[in-house]
Amino acid sequence: MKAATLEFLRQRFSSYYAKEPLLSPSSLPQREWAFVFFDPDFPDIRMRRHLGFETRDEAFSYIRSMAPAHIYYSTAYYARPGAGTMQEKEWLGADLIFDLDADHIMRGPYDRMLSRVKEETKKLLDMLVLELGFSPREIDLVFSGGRGYHVHVHDLSVRNWGSSERRELIDYVCGIGLDPGRVLAHRTHSPRGWHHRYIAALAEYLLWLESLGEKERVAAIAGLEGVGKTTAEEFSRRLGEVLSRITTDPASLNLKDAVIAKVIRGLSVQKEGQFAAMLRDRAALADEPVTTDTKRLIRLPSSLHGGSGLRVTPLAPKDLDDFDPLVDAVVFGEREVKVDLAFPLSMPILGTSFRLEKGISAVPEALAVFLCCRGAAEIAGGASSAPG
C-alpha cells in the first residue's frame, strides 16, 4: 500500500474514533485486547496483543490516540488479561461465539455474499432460540464489518464449557455427524429440529432421483460409497415405496433392510454431492473453529474493520431483515476522492450502484475508503488529505 493511501486511511479512521461513541464489552477488566495498526506493512497483519485495560476510559483513550485499523478483544475472561502468555492469564471462562462468514459459503459479488450470509445468520438465530433454548436477552448480533455476522451468547450456563462441549453445539448447528438411524427413528411433535430437516432433505433427494431416467438414477445410486450396481438397481425399483414411507411415516422405514441400509449409509458418509448439498442447505453454516476456540479474539462492536472501512455494527435480531451493511454500516460520506483502481468492478454503496473502470476515478469517500482498505485501489492525485 502506498504512503498516500496509508495516510488517507489513517486520517479517516482517526476522524471516526475522535467523534463517534464506542461500545465496551462486559467485564472489561477481564478481557485481553489486541490491535492491528496502519504501519508501513499494512494491510499485512502485525498484531499487538496481550493488552489489558482497567476502565472504559483507559481503553477508549488508547483507541482514540492510536486509531487502529483493527480492534479485537477476547471472548474469554481472564484473571490477568495483560499477561504475556496464555497460561499466565488464568482462563476464567468464555462467551459462546458463532462466526458466519460468506467466504466459507459462496464466492461472488460482495453484496450477494452479504445477502447469502444473512440467510445463514437467520437460521442460526432460530436454532439458538427455538431449538436450543437460549434466551434472546442473552444473545447479541453484530455485523462483522467484513463478510458476515458474529453471534455472542452470554449465557452463564455455557461460560465454562470447554472445546468439546462447544464442538457438540456447533456440530448440531451445522448438521455434522448425524446418525440416520437415530434421526429417522426419533418421533417428535415439534415442527423443528434435525429429525424434520433430515427427512425433508432425504425426501427431496428421493424426488430428485425419481426425476432421473432409469440409467442415470442407477448410476447416481451406485456412485455412493458401499453401494454396488445390484443394490442400486433394487433400490431404484423400490424407490416409490421408500419415498412413500419417508413422507408419511419415516419411523417405519426398515433400516435393517440391507438395500435401504446401504443406500442410507452411503448418503450419510457423503461429503459432497446432491444429498450433502440438500442437507447443508438446512444447516446454519457457521465457522466451526471459532465456536470451539475458548480463547478467541473477536472484533469490537462500534469499531471499524480495517479491511473494509465499515462499522462493526451491533443490531437487534429483529432488525436483521431490514439491515443493509452497505448503507447502515457505512460511516463515511460522499465527499469526492480520486482513486486509482487496480481492476474494473461494480458494487453498490450508500444506495447507489457504481460501475468503475480500471484507472483513475472520482468516487464518494465511503467507496474510496472501502476500495483502499480492500487493496483494490490507491489514492490518486494527492487526495490523501481530508478534513478533520
Angle at Cα 282 formed by Cα 139 and Cα 271, nearest 5°? 115
Which of 287, 293, 328, 340 does the annotation list as catalytic? 287
Strand order in the sheet with 359-364: 359-364, 336-341, 377-379
- Catalytic residue from among 95, 99, 140, 340: 99
Q: Is 39 marked active-site? A: no
Nearest-angstrom CA–CA distance, 307 and 140 = 23
From 147, 149, 151, 145, select the one nearest 112 (Cα to Cα). Answer: 147
Beta strands in 193-312 (DSSP E): 297-299
Active site residue 287: yes
Instruction: Name beta bridge partners: 67.
Output: none
CA atoms within 13 A on the CB side of 387: 7
Instruction: Name the grid cell of 206.
Output: 428421493
Show the CA angle centred on residue 52, arms to residues 50 and 58, nearest 5°: 140
321 part of the active site: no
Q: Is 359 left (phi over 0), alpha (psi -120 to 50) or beta?
A: left
- Give the dihedral sign, CA 99/105/110/116: negative
Beginning with the edge strand found earlier in the chain, give each strand of the sheet holding 297-299 in spatial order: 47-51, 33-36, 70-74, 297-299
Give the C-alpha separation, 261 to 109, whole Å.
42
Number of H helices, E strands in the chain: 15, 15
**Residue 247: helix, strand or coil by DSSP?**
helix
Catalytic residue, chosen from 101, 126, 140, 293, is 101
CA–CA separation, 373 and 328 (whole Å): 18
Reference 231, options 202, 267, 205, 201; nearest CA is: 267
Contact 47, 85 (CB under 8 A): no
User: Could you list the active site residues?
Assistant: 99, 101, 287
